Amino acid sequence: MGSKAKNVLKKKLKKVSSQLTVSRKKNEAADFLPLEGGPGRKLPDEKPAKDTAAVLYIGRIPHGFYEKEMEGFFSQFGPIKRLRITRNKKTGKSKHFGFIEFEHPQTAKVVAECMQDYLLFEHVIKVHLVPPEHVHPNLWKGFNHRYKPVDWVQLERKRQNKERTLADHKTLVEKIMKRDQKRRKKIEAAGIDYECPEIVGSTQPAPKKIKFDED
């Protein structure tokens, strides 16, 4: 074999060895090898997810611990963005759970760790983070609205003092008479000798007044 042939053979061997070393490096760095053969594949690098949850769910809120008290208590951890206690639409009473949104997610995480199972006014409150994808779009709708309770006494007073027509008066008297009949039957069944007073409830219109002449 001549010198030229030896040089060509050495070049080919170096080329093959370099290709083998490159393929080995690729296979070592690859996350998995395909079953059908071929070069190894590497999964894309995934960046660690950042903590962006800033909304807290608070359950078992005690009676009397409302928006103003909650804002004063939880503001010691950090600035509060929004706060809401779920209330009954009819009575305005608290349903004993609510939500708080802090300006910084780190603050919300610290509050969730510190206040979980915290004893507050003889109530063990429950606090945990709400992921951003689980926050309902209407959660903060009207959060700054302070509910004014309905004055049911005033409404009942108006209902009782309204002017009644003859048909309304007749219906009212019929109800009273039915209750009176039930009461009489219960007294008779008990063997009590008692005469119940008669209820004067004429459904007829009041008679016209008679005018007398002066003579």
- The answer to which of 18-27, 105-114, 178-187 has the lowest mean pLDDT is 18-27
> Is 37 contained in some domain?
no
Q: Whole-model pTM above 0.75?
A: no
Q: Is 6 part of any domain?
A: no
Residue 106 and residue 177 in one domain: no
Q: Which whole number is the average pLDDT over 161-189?
A: 90
Indicate if 66 and 112 belong to the same structural domain.
Answer: yes
Contact by Cβ (8 Å): 107, 78 = yes
pLDDT at 193: 85
In a domain, 68, yes or no: yes
* pLDDT mean across residues, the chain: 80
83, 128: one domain:
yes
Q: What is the pLDDT of residue 97?
A: 95
Cα-Cα-Cα-Cα dihedral sign, residues 73, 74, 78, 84: negative
How does DSSP classify residue 204? S
* Residue 126 CB-density burial (10 A; 0-12 exposed, 13-18 middle, 19+ buried): middle
- Examine the pLDDT at 83 and tell me if it is beyond 80: yes
More confident residue, 204 or 186: 186
Same domain? 65 vs 118: yes
Which helix (H) or strand (E) segment holds residue 18: the answer is helix 3-29
* Domain extent at residue 173: 163-202
Q: Tens digits of per-residue pLDDT, 16-49?
A: 566 655 455 544 555 655 666 666 666 666 666 6
Q: Report the alpha-carbon distance of residue 215 to residue 197 in Å, rounded.
A: 42
Contact between residue 83 and residue 98 where contact means Cβ atoms under 8 Å apart: yes
pLDDT band with cut points at 50, 70 and 90 for residue 209 = very low
* Distance from C-alpha of 201 to C-alpha of 173, rounded to nearest angstrom: 6
Listed residue (139, 125, 118) closest to 54, CA to CA: 139
Which pLDDT does position 201 carry in this prediction?
Answer: 57
The per-residue pLDDT for 11 is 72
pLDDT tops 50 at residue 207? no
Q: How far lies 75's CA from each of 1, 3, 30, 81, 110, in Å?
A: 89, 87, 50, 10, 13
Return the CATH number at 66: 3.30.70.330
Band of residue 208 on the pLDDT scale cut at 50, 70, 90: very low
Mean per-residue pLDDT for 51-59?
91
β-strand partners of 58:
98, 127
Total domains in the chain come to: 2
